[in-house]
Amino acid sequence: MTQPDILMTAPMQPAVIAALEARFTMHRLWEAPDPAAFLREIGPSIRGMATSTLYGRVDAELIGALRQLEIIASFGVGYDQIDVAVAAERGVVVTNTPGVLDEEVADLAVGLLLATVRQIPAAERYLRAGRWLQGNFPLSPTLRGRKIGIVGLGAIGKAIARRLAAFDVAIAYHGRTKQPDMPYPWHPTLIGLAQACDVLIVMVPGGAATRHLIDRPVLQALGRDGILINVARGSVVDEDALIEALRNGTILTAGLDVYNDEPRVPQALIDTDHVVLLPHLGSASAHTRAAMGQLVVDNLESWFATGQPLTPVAETAHLVPEA
């Protein structure tokens, strides 16, 4: 039986590449010296795609070059790098990798919050520089008595809330709708949540609908004792407004794992010593990345074996035939 042809846009883990090469005829776009010529040559035969944010945008031009494309399997929960509207219009199913990374990202979010509140990275730098010999590290802010607002109470947001409950802090959330059976107060507006809390943890998808959701008015509402934690997408935060808020003391500090133009981080953030900056580590453990890669493989394999992907995104779920 002829193996379906699939395109991998950027390198994934060796185990993922090996698994896909065993099941499909795989073409590596990142190795092509002339990608446009390569796509003209192999494009008519491609039925599936494995992609990730390492590649960049899967846009209308790329989708249009693959006339037989049936499925795009994306590595990661966020899929704002894919033009899903064009895919849906073309009848192309898009899948992502939810569930398998929820706990890892939630762990990182809580760790980033603690590191930011207690200034753990700055304290370590202080010790390594030999400054403890001259005196104690300055007293830090505290998590005690704080009110935590979660922006986006999806699966990861709920996992964060479960962890924070053990710290005996007040928790509230903002989302499009109030969720039944949730024990936390719901705020119908983001401004209202920011006014009621002194920590905001951002956990919403990227894309046009959430671009600069955290803007100057939200930061002003968060206030001078406020802390912003972003483990979602860099585009969700207006970085210029955040830098201004940090400089002016509009908010206290921030902990960031994501940025608007990764891996380029604004020098103004790097130069702000009390801000905690991580290089997009949310799901970056060997265990979780292996599970994410396996789900990419499983989605492609299931689609071509049964016509049923495992985790289609909402915008293309209607394209999946009933089992």
Given a contact cutoff of 8 angstroms between Cβ atoms, the answer to whether 181 and 210 are in contact is: no
Let me know if 104 is a catalytic residue.
Answer: no
User: Which two tokens mark 98?
Assistant: 């939810």
> Who contacts 20 (Cβ-Cβ below 8 Å, separation ≥6)?
6, 8, 26, 50, 297, 300
Let me know if 239 is a catalytic residue.
Answer: no
Pick from 20, 85, 98, 34: which is nearest to 58 by CA? 85
Which listed residue (41, 67, 262, 287) is catalytic?
A: 262
Q: How far, in Å, CA of 198 to CA of 224, rounded?
A: 9
Q: How far, in Å, CA of 197 to CA of 150, rounded?
A: 10
Let me know if 322 is a catalytic residue.
Answer: no
What is the 8-class DSSP label of residue 214?
B
Which listed residue (103, 212, 280, 315) is catalytic?
A: 280
> Who contacts 319 (Cβ-Cβ below 8 Å, separation ≥6)?
88, 91, 92, 93, 312
Q: How far, in Å, CA of 200 to CA of 196, rounded?
A: 10
Cα distance from N-terminal residue to C-terminal residue, the chain: 24
The single residue listed with the structure tokens 């929960």 is 77
Which listed residue (233, 239, 289, 301) is catalytic?
A: 233
User: Which two tokens mark 68?
Assistant: 């037989």
Given a contact cutoff of 8 angstroms between Cβ atoms, the answer to whether 190 and 218 are in contact is: yes
Q: How far, in Å, CA of 96 to CA of 93, rounded?
A: 10
Given a contact cutoff of 8 angstroms between Cβ atoms, the answer to whether 91 and 314 are in contact is: no
- Give 220-238 as a DSSP string: HHH-TT-EEEE-S-GGGB-
Helix (H, G, I), strand (E, B) or coil at 276: strand
Given a contact cutoff of 8 angstroms between Cβ atoms, the answer to whether 175 and 184 are in contact is: no
Catalytic residue positions, numbered: 233, 262, 280
